[in-house]
């Protein structure tokens, strides 16, 4: 009794091995896809993490940045109006330009804190993106590889062949015979199986 695996067990092991190979193939495809995605997006995330917001320099440039450009038309218009006016009171031109400069400075100051916070958020977003890509790469293929490994382990741990019904009955009969001292029980076992 015993011996090698049955034909059914061989077929089941082959099916299990085939499934393990399919899962390993799917894991490799998933891993390759994740790597391709990372190669596309990681430069963006790294740039954001190291450099932050690409518009930050314009946001904090008081002389020629975003706010200065926004006030440039108003400044040009003011110069045009002041240049065409005759007989303005003393100091009027100076006061008008000072008022415009003050408005521009307030607008710049109000935007500066937001620009600084946006710069930090852009850098944190880049770092978070890189971390997220790492987690996706780790999780993506692990399930498939785990399934393939589990399938292979089940093949390795499967019993080669179970005992037959006659073997079980023979074991019971032998136990009974042993309980009767080998006499009547042994005769019963012989009659049962012969």
Helices 165-179 + 184-193 axis angle, to 10: 160
Residue 12 makes CB contacts below 8 A (sequence gap 6+) with: 158
Give the burial class of 13: count Cβ atoms within 10 A of its Cβ; 0-12 exposed, 13-18 middle, 19 or more buried: middle
* pLDDT computed for residue 4 by the predictor: 73
* pLDDT tens digits, 146-184: 666 666 566 666 555 555 554 444 554 454 444 444 444
Task: Take residue 4 and report the two structure tokens written for it.
Answer: 């090698």
* pLDDT tens digits, 117-150: 999 999 998 888 888 877 776 666 666 666 666 6
CA distance linking residue 192 with residue 189, whole number of Å: 5
* pLDDT tens digits, 51-100: 999 989 989 898 889 999 999 999 999 988 888 777 788 888 889 999 99
CA distance linking residue 140 with residue 135, whole number of Å: 8
Note if the pTM is more than 0.85.
no
């Amino acid at each position: 009794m015993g011996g090698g695996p049955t034909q059914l067990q061989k077929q089941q092991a082959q099916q299990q091995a085939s499934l393990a190979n399919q899962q390993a193939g799917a894991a490799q495809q998933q891993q390759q896809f994740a790597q391709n995605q990372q190669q596309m997006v990681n430069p963006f995330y790294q740039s954001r993490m190291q450099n932050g917001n690409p518009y930050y320099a314009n946001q904090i440039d008081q002389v020629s940045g975003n706010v200065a450009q926004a006030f440039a038309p108003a400044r040009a218009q003011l110069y045009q109006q002041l240049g065409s006016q005759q007989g303005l009171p003393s100091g009027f031109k100076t006061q008008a330009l000072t008022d415009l400069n003050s408005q521009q400075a307030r607008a710049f100051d109000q935007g500066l804190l937001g620009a600084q916070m946006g710069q930090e958020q852009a850098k944190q977003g880049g770092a978070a993106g890189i971390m997220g890509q790492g987690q996706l790469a780790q999780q993506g293929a692990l399930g498939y590889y785990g399934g393939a490994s589990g399938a292979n382990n089940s093949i390795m741990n499967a019993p080669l062949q179970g005992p037959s019904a006659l073997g079980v009955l023979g074991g019971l009969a032998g136990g009974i015979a042993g309980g009767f001292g080998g006499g009547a029980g042994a005769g019963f076992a012989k009659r049962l199986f012969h």
